[in-house]
Structure 1
Amino acid sequence: MTAAAQLASGKGYKDENFPVASALLKREHRAPVMAFYRFARAADDVADNETASADEKLALLGAMRATIAGTHDADAPSVALRETMAGHDLSAQHAFDLLTAFERDCSIDRYADWPALIDYCRYSAMPVGRYVLDVHGEDPATWAANDALCAALQVINHLQDCGKDYQAIGRVYLPLDVLAAHGAEVSDLGKPVATPQLRAALRDLVARTEILLVRSAGFARAIRDRRLAIEVAIIHRLARDLTLRLKTHDPLSQRVHHGKAEMFGLATLAAAAQLVKGRG
């Protein structure tokens, strides 16, 4: 069996759309957050590999699950996360939930409607934020806002990469009923430029994502840890900007990601705004 490390994409935390365990977080919190990120990146690379079979991927993800459970030591990132969670008295449920999403990716490549996509986000995105909140000892009452923001981030990623996901691994996260409602076809995702029908479907999904961002607008203010609150405010601001870009840009033919300078500028503005709110 191929080791999970052999399927690594080479992508790291600096390549993500949003900050991961940035210097804003307290030093004692960054290490456990990075342990979860490395575990998530390893599992994601397995699920998205273009050459491994579904059975091989599921076997590797199963080994990661067994390692988190403590019945196996087959996967190094999983061992590191298991030890980190034990040392910080953190629940393993978020890791198990995340693996459920990647296991789904090995067998499910279409989503019928928006609720089905949000259910996928329940496992692929929401556990990440919940884990970070747990690391900081935040109140579980913040989970609702976290879930809305994390789902929005996940959908934004799906919209940005809709063409690549379809062309590289045949996966379509865009709900089929939304495509059909606007007269778009799945095959439109393989074209060099989005059709007017696909653009209309994308705008529909952006509007739904904006509702999630409205629901999570008060998330940063509900977080007790000041540094984490600033990071969340930055992430929310970056997400809002990306939804605006997705309204006017074609993800099949145009760049819909932030450049480093642009991200820094938006992050600075968001951090300053959060600091002002924090003093209020």
Structure 2
Amino acid sequence: MTSASDLRSGKTHRDENFPVASWIIHPRHRALILAFYNFVRTADDIADHATLGADDKLRYLDLLEAELLGKGDTQPEAVSLRRAFAERAMAPRHALDVLVAFRMDVTKLRYENWDDVIHYCRYSAMPVGRFMLDVHGESTSTWAASDALCAGLQINNHLQDCAKDYKNLNRVYLPRDALAASGATVEMLGEAKSQPALLQCLHALAVRTEALLNESRSLSAEVKDFRLGLEIAVIQAFADRIVGMLKVRDPLSERVHLSKPELLVQSIGAITSEMIRRAAGRRPQTKPVAGA
């Protein structure tokens, strides 16, 4: 069997819509975070592989899990993460959770409603935030706000890539009931520009995602680690900016990703605001959600 590493897409932590083990995070945590990222990225690339069959995808995901748990040493990403966890005496629970989501990606192509999508996020996105909090020794009381932020990031990504996911993988994360409520169909995702019914559905889902992101706004103040608080503030700013674009743009025909200059501006603004907020002892402010 080919190593899972050979199936990587070439995407790295520098290509994500959010910072991964950035300079903001303390250097003592970066190796573990990158090991976790590389494991997750490898599994994600397997689940999304264009030519690999479903049975082969599941076999590779099972192999990554087995080696993460110590049953073999043939998959570098699994072995590296296993050793990094051992050095910190951390359990692999969050890495095992994300594998649940990637198996869903192989076997589940449609989602019935919002709760169905949130259930997917429980395994695809929320474990990543929980992992970061555990790495920094934060309380599990921070998980609720983290879960909201991670789910919002995930659904932002679903909306950004809805056409690509459909065309390349026949995978649709837009809930069936939301499409039906707007009079839209899955097949509309294959067009170059959204029809009005589909655009109405996409914008409504963006508004709902914005409300979800409002639930995460307290997270930067809830964490004790100063550097992690800054990183969360940056991620929140990225998510807020992207959902704002998704509320008014058409992801089938318009750009809904942040450019490098936009990422820099958002980062500087978020770091500055968070430092001022912490110095003044103020709580983060929620934002009104138009149309919610």
CA positional deviation for 1:74: 2.8
Structure 1 distance, partners of 2:229, 2:242, is 20
CA positional deviation for 1:72: 2.3
Contact 1:2-1:56 at 8 Å conserved across structures: no
Contact 1:238-1:263 at 8 Å conserved across structures: yes
Alignment of 1:134-213 (within 5 A): 134-213=134-213
Structure 2 distance, partners of 1:241, 1:72, is 43
Q: How many residues align?
A: 280
Counterpart position of 1:10:
10
Counterpart position of 2:283:
none
Give the aligned residue type for 2:75: D
Contact 1:145-1:215 at 8 Å conserved across structures: yes
Matched, 1:235 2:264: no
RMSD: 0.8
Give the aligned residue type for 1:83: R
Describe the superposition over 1:1-57 as per-residue Cα deviations: whole angstroms up to 9, x where unpaired: 333122110001111001111000100011111110000100000000010000000
Give the aligned residue type for 1:34: L
Structure 2 distance, partners of 1:2, 1:59, is 11
Structure 2 distance, partners of 1:214, 1:255, is 24
Structure 2 distance, partners of 1:6, 1:252, is 31
What residue ranges of structure 1 are gaps of 5+ in the alignment? none
Counterpart position of 1:260:
260
Give the aligned residue type for 1:209: T
Structure 1 distance, partners of 2:77, 2:2, is 16
Contact 2:221-2:229 at 8 Å conserved across structures: yes
Contact 1:162-1:189 at 8 Å conserved across structures: yes
Structure 1 distance, partners of 2:211, 2:2, is 42
Matched, 1:106 2:106: yes
Alignment of 1:17-96 (within 5 A): 17-96=17-96
CA positional deviation for 1:269: 0.5
SS at match of 2:107: coil
Matched, 1:217 2:217: yes
Contact 2:8-2:42 at 8 Å conserved across structures: yes
CA positional deviation for 1:204: 1.2
Structure 2 distance, partners of 1:203, 1:174, is 11
Structure 2 distance, partners of 1:6, 1:224, is 39
SS at match of 1:33: helix
Give the aligned residue type for 2:204: D
Structure 2 distance, partners of 1:6, 1:77, is 11
CA positional deviation for 1:70: 1.1
Give the aligned residue type for 2:252: L
Structure 2 distance, partners of 1:176, 1:215, is 25
Describe the superposition over 1:156-181 as per-residue Cα deviations: whole angstroms up to 9, x where unpaired: 00000000000011100111110011
What residue ranges of structure 2 are gaps of 5+ in the alignment? 281-292
SS at match of 2:40: helix
Contact 2:166-2:172 at 8 Å conserved across structures: yes
